[in-house]
């Protein structure tokens, strides 16, 4: 009796307490509660930090000729004062060269003398948020300088997208559905082998890209898309996003949604330039956004819709590079991926092997 009471009265060691915690059915739920709480705060914080208070930091505009007219100099000085010296003035020899710079998205506006005042040609299609800031500054500068300032939108947004957000929304849909599709494959199509998984990811990316483009253009009429190019960009975005999740699923297993969400949603979408143009984003986000899949997708789609003759190769290289790296990591370490028939068969009992029945090992002859 003394021994029994002594055993029941003995304090559990730290290792025993930890073993009890690890064996508890509530531990995974509590971990998820903490992770979801942190994700909620980070999600709200990342978007609020990037998008709630856009501030001009680096806005390139064009002037024609090295020597500006007095009206242009006065207008630039007043604009710099209003924008805390965030304008970056670039000089072009001719009006045609300045227009080419707008089409190539190297500048957001062109200032020319129009005695007794100035003319500001801006491009809403280059970035609605930047165009709005420049337009407000120009409108206020006229009365302050006591001279007329004529503001002309030379590349306006399409009528179905007056705030310039539709491209951001369709790119966001491609990013999120891209990795959500891959998560569903990991749950409901776990038996897919590596080549099959890549192939089916490409298949739903092509189908999903078609559906997104059709909804935005044919059904809602929000955008007039260059359909084949837009479809290709959306499909490549979905495939890249799906394979990024698959890569992380290979590296970190069931927790793959955490780095995927962090990269694509918490960091990638606010820095993409889709909701707020990059000159108004915090400096770090403005620089890294174009190197992440969401930013590359927005840039490629934006150029395809509004500046089709000046499409850039960089966004496609970024999307293709992420897709290639993700596929390579998945393929090289495919044996670590939790799915696949080969992986399941490797852990199944083989003929003549031993398995445990009750307390005794018996030979499995099935």
* Closest of 291, 257, 300 to residue 271, by C-alpha: 291
Tokens describing residue 20: 């009890």
Give per-residue pLDDT as tens, 34-85: 888 988 898 888 888 878 788 898 999 999 987 678 999 999 999 999 999 9
* Closest of 279, 351, 289 to residue 315, by C-alpha: 289
User: C-alpha distances in angstroms, 103 versus 96, 110, 121, 180?
Assistant: 11, 12, 12, 36
- List of residues 6+ apart from 285 with CB closer than 8 A: 50, 270, 271, 278
Give per-residue pLDDT as tens, 85-114: 999 999 999 999 999 999 999 999 999 999
- pLDDT band, very low/low/confident/very high, at 226 (cuts 50, 70, 90): very high
**Proportion of the chain above pLDDT 90, given as a percent:** 73
Give per-residue pLDDT as tens, 298-351: 999 999 999 999 999 999 999 999 999 999 999 999 999 998 876 555 544 444
Q: Find residue 361's DSSP bridge partners.
A: 356
Phi, psi of 149 (to 5 degrees): -125, 115
What's the average model confidence in pLDDT over 202-215? 98
Q: Is the overall model pTM greater than 0.75, yes or no?
A: yes
Task: Could you list the beta-strand ranges (E) of 136-248.
Answer: 149-153
Residue 329: its pLDDT value, please? 98
Residue 358 DSSP class: T
Geometric angle at alpha carbon 217, from 214 and 221, rounded to 5°: 135
Residue 350: its pLDDT value, please? 45
Q: Report helix angle 293-306 to 314-332, nearest 10.
A: 150
């Amino acid at each position: 009796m003394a021994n029994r009471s002594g055993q029941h009265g003995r304090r559990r060691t730290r290792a025993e307490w930890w073993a009890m915690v690890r064996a508890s059915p509530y531990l995974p739920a509590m971990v998820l509660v903490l992770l979801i709480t942190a994700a909620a705060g980070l999600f709200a914080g990342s978007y609020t930090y990037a998008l709630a208070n856009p501030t001009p930091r680096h806005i390139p505009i064009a002037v024609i000729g090295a020597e500006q007219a007095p009206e242009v100099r006065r207008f630039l000085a007043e604009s710099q004062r209003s924008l805390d010296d965030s304008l970056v003035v670039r000089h072009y020899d001719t009006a045609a060269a300045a227009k080419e710079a707008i089409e190539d998205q190297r500048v957001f506006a062109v200032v020319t003398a129009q005695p007794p005042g100035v003319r500001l040609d801006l491009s809403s299609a280059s970035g609605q948020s930047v165009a709005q800031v420049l337009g407000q500054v120009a409108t206020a500068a006229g009365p302050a300088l006591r001279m007329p300032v004529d503001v002309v939108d030379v590349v306006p947004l399409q009528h179905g997208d007056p705030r310039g957000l539709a491209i951001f929304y369709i790119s966001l849909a491609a990013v999120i559905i891209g990795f959500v599709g891959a998560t569903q494959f990991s749950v409901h199509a776990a038996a897919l082998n590596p080549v099959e998984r890549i192939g089916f990811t490409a298949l739903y990316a092509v189908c999903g890209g078609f559906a997104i483009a059709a909804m935005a253009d044919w059904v809602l009429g929000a955008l007039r898309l260059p359909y084949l190019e837009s479809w290709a960009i959306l499909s490549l975005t979905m495939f890249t996003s799906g394979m990024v999740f698959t890569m992380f699923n290979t590296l970190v297993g069931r927790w793959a949604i955490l780095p995927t969400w962090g990269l694509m949603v918490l960091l990638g979408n606010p820095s993409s330039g889709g909701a707020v143009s990059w000159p108004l984003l915090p400096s770090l986000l403005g620089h890294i956004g174009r190197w992440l899949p969401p930013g590359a997708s927005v840039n490629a789609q934006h150029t395809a819709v509004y500046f089709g003759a000046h499409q850039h190769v960089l966004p496609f290289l970024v999307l293709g590079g992420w897709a290639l790296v993700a596929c390579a990591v998945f393929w090289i370490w495919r044996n670590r991926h939790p799915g696949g028939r080969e992986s399941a068969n490797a852990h199944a009992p083989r003929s003549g092997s031993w398995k445990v029945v009750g307390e005794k090992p018996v030979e499995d002859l099935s």
